[in-house]
Amino acid sequence: MNLNQNLPERPTGLARIAAAFDRAKAEERAALILYYTLGYPAPQLSLEVIAAVAEAGADIIELGVPFSDPLADGPTIQGSTQQALEQGMTVARCLEMTAQLRRNGVKQALVLMGYYNPLLAYGVERYVADAVRAGADGLIIPDLPPEEADRLDAACRAHHMALIYLLSPASPPERVQLAAERTSGFLYLVSLAGVTGARRELPAYLPEFTARAGAAAHTPTAVGFGISTPEQARAVGELADGVIIGSALIDAVRRSPHPVRAAGEFITAIRAGLVG
C-alpha cells in the first residue's frame, strides 16, 4: 500500500487542527466539525459526499472507520457502518480513501474516528504511521479511556498527531481533569448520556457541563451528539469552540435521491446558522 503517492505537503496534524479553530475564531463563530462514515452508502459515493462537505465549509472532518460493534453510536451511524462493512470497508481501505481525499484536494483537518479493536489488530504504531502518511491529522477512539492509552498516545505524540479524548456529562472532576490534560487537538464533549443521534432539544445541563470542562481544558472544546439543526448548532456554538454533527448529516444523505447535493446543502444551512 503506497500512501505517499502524489500527496501534497502538509503541516503537522496538530497545526492543521489548531489553524481550523483559529480561522473560525477570527470569523467570530464556532468551528464546524462533521462526521461521515467512510464507505457509506458506497465507497466512491462517500468520497464525493465528503468532498461536498469540505466544499460547503466544514472546518474539520471526522472520517468514520467502520466497526461491527460501534457501542457509542445510535441507529443512524450503526446502520451506515454496517452498510459500509458490507461494501468491503477495512482499516486499510479507510486509510487509502483518506489519502485519496488528500489527492483530490481536500485541505480540511481530517480526524479518523473509530474503535480500538480494529486499530489494535492493524498494529498501533503502524496505524498511526500509515494514518499520518495518508494525510490524517488526528484520532478519536471512543472506547479507549486515557488511563489505557499510553501506547497510542506515545505513537501520536511522536508523529505530532492529535489524540482526542471524550468527556460525558457524568464525568467526575478527576476524569474531567485527566482527559483535559491528555487530549490534544480539542476536547470532545458528549452533550448527553447515551449514543449518537439527532435530538429535538439540547439538554438543560449543557451550559454547566461545557463551562466545567472548558475551565479545565488547555485546548479548544467541541460538543457533539444530538445536534441536528442550524438553531441547535448556533446555541452550542455559543458555549464551545466547536460544533460536531454526524447523524443528522448521514440522515440527510440517506433520505435524498441526490446525496452529494443534500450533503452540501445541509452543511451550508448549518454553517449559516453558526454565523447568522
Q: Annotated catalytic sites, by residue?
A: 62, 73
Residue among 220, 187, 226 nearest 206 (CA): 226
What DSSP character marks residue 163?
Answer: E
What DSSP character marks residue 59?
Answer: S
> Distance (Å, rounded) from C-alpha 131 to C-alpha 98?
8
> Cell digits for 145?
479511556
- Strand order through the sheet with 242-245: 162-164, 138-140, 109-113, 60-64, 31-37, 242-245, 221-224, 187-190, 166-167
**Rounded alpha-carbon distances, angstroms, from residue 228 to 128, 200, 217, 267:** 31, 8, 25, 11
> Cell digits for 228?
441536528
What DSSP character marks residue 80?
Answer: H
Tally of CA atoms within 13 A in the half-sphere of 254 that contains its CB? 17
